[in-house]
Amino acid sequence: MSLDNFQICDRDLDDDTLTRYLQAEAIAVDTETMGLVLGRDRLCLVQLCDLQGYVTAIQINKGQTEAPNLQKLLEAENITKVFHFARFDVAQFRYTFGIETKPIFCTKIASKLARTYTSNHGLKNLVMELERVELDKSSQSSDWGNAENLSPQQLSYAANDVRYLIGVRAKLTAMLKREGRWELAQQCFDCIPVFVSLDILSYENVFEH
């Protein structure tokens, strides 16, 4: 369990880290929440990681409705925000803070388009195959609401969820380009804000027959 290159921020990114992250071409992003139901289950933690592997975990307070530095980063047009299952996290940011995250790269969508030889598109599987690292997901279902008292195991888990995303993105991008699916992938990423709008209004699937 390594917590190198890792810091915790209270409520928002500090100015120095914002300046650092604004230099990046891409930033990996993940969130931890009280559960999977948007609107019921609040946002607890936001994890960020740059190409050098510098991880920040931002503790979000109950009832908090803004995070101006995080907003500047997530809305910066020249920095790609890399998620695994972006639809969930982007909805959290819009619902909690009114943030319009862009531009987006989703490793789950990229994996589904590129890795058609498997039906395993979970982060653990992706990181194992592409980065040769075994993720410990044992803290996935735990109480993230007690922000000041997160355990070293929880913090390590939270950091690892963003630490490998940039490398995974590079490998999936190469596969998508090789297979002629890069443009389709970008079109899918551009649709994510529409899916978020539908999710916030609780529509099931308006594209089905």
Rule CB under 5 A: is residue 161 a binding residue for Mn ion? yes
Strand order through the sheet with 43-49: 6-10, 55-59, 43-49, 26-33, 80-83, 104-106
- The DSSP 8-state label assigned to residue 61 in this structure reads P
Paired residues of 7 in beta bridges: 56
Q: Which residue, 49 or 176, has its beta carbon nearer to Mn ion?
A: 49
Total interface residues for Mn ion by CB under 5 A: 2
Q: How far is the CB of 5 from Mn ion (least distance, A)?
A: 18
Q: How far is the CB of 84 from Mn ion (least distance, A)?
A: 8
Q: Residue 87 contacts by C-beta under 8 Å, 6 or more apart in sequence?
A: 106, 192, 195, 196, 199
Rule CB under 5 A: is residue 89 a binding residue for Mn ion? no
Q: Degrees (nearest 5) of the Cα angle 12, 16, 22?
A: 85
Contact 102, 75 (CB under 8 A): yes
Q: Which of 30, 50, 89, 199 binds Mn ion (CB under 5 A)?
A: 30
Contact 105, 80 (CB under 8 A): yes
Residue number of the CB closest to Mn ion reads 161
Site string for Mn ion, 121-160 (x = CB under 5 A): ----------------------------------------
Instruction: Please choose, out of 3-11, 22-30, 127-135, 177-185, the segment that lies near Mn ion by the rule CB under 5 A.
Output: 22-30
Nearest Cα to Cα of residue 107 among 54, 161, 53: 161
Paired residues of 30 in beta bridges: 47
Q: How far is the CB of 161 from Mn ion (least distance, A)?
A: 4
Rule CB under 5 A: is residue 12 a binding residue for Mn ion? no
Rule CB under 5 A: is residue 50 a binding residue for Mn ion? no
| Interacting residue ranges for Mn ion, rule: CB under 5 A | 30, 161
